[in-house]
Chains A and B, each alone.
Chain A
């Protein structure tokens, strides 16, 4: 059981280049998330998805786009990379709460993608 897999693990881009980060989960989870983590900081939510074909903005969405064409995949795109987007990117997934009487948000995280934009 692989859980949440992120590719690539490392990437170096030049300013203005584009790239797509791929997140894949094999747990049949409804919800998926993209976070970024800057040095010495906590994680900040970029975008998230509550199901196939849906996406929503998080705390820091500017400069990023996402797509959830398949339930198991969540893609994060950088159309024109900037040095300010140098960060570690984490993907996560969680199952939908089965009952409104039970709050359950256990998110499972990938190993991260380390991105440097020069």
Chain B
């Protein structure tokens, strides 16, 4: 599975959009991009995933570049409860084993 690169930390003001980047330049055609987050002392939580089209659900939006080498997770109106570590994971179609990197520690400031 392709490796991912994320900034170690980011800050965002409450109420603003939080944009979290992820680089996955070695991604192959059958690999999906998944995003999970882990709020302090809790188990990770699934957010969203996609292949090549942009995706949106009730939690977030996922923007994948046309060459699929990078993506951005967007939390449209960040709240204090969105403070967490966000993990970008690339997963081959049909594979089951998630590989968690260091992630991005997102802090939402009041």
Asked whether B102 lies within 8 Å of A42 as measured between CB atoms, the reply is yes
Asked whether B32 lies within 8 Å of A103 as measured between CB atoms, the reply is yes
Q: Which residues of A contact B92 (CB under 8 A)?
A: 103
Whether, in the assembled complex, B17 has its beta carbon less than 8 Å from a beta carbon of chain A, the answer is no
Interface size range on B against A: 20 to 34
Q: Report A34-50 CB contacts with B as 1/0, cut-off 8 Å.
A: 01000001111100101
Q: Report A82-99 CB contacts with B as 1/0, cut-off 8 Å.
A: 000000001010100100
A112-B46 contact, Cβ under 8 Å, with A42-B102, A105-B95: no
The answer, among A31, A100, A109, A110, for a CB contact under 8 Å with B96, is: A31
Asked whether B42 lies within 8 Å of A108 as measured between CB atoms, the reply is no
The answer, among A103, A106, A112, for a CB contact under 8 Å with B43, is: A112
Chain B residue with minimal CB distance to A49?
A: B96
Q: Distance (Å) between the CB of A32 and the closest chain B CB? A: 10
Q: Taking beta carbons and an 8 Å cutoff, which residues of B are in contact with A?
A: 30, 32, 34, 36, 41-46, 49, 51, 87, 91-103
Q: Taking beta carbons and an 8 Å cutoff, which residues of A are in contact with B?
A: 4, 31, 33, 35, 41-45, 48, 50, 58-59, 90, 92, 94, 97, 100, 103-112
- Besides A35-B100, A107-B98, 18 new A-B residue pairs in contact (Cβ under 8 A), listed by A number: A31-B96, A33-B96, A33-B97, A42-B87, A43-B44, A43-B98, A45-B98, A48-B96, A50-B96, A58-B97, A90-B44, A92-B43, A100-B93, A103-B30, A103-B91, A104-B49, A105-B49, A108-B46
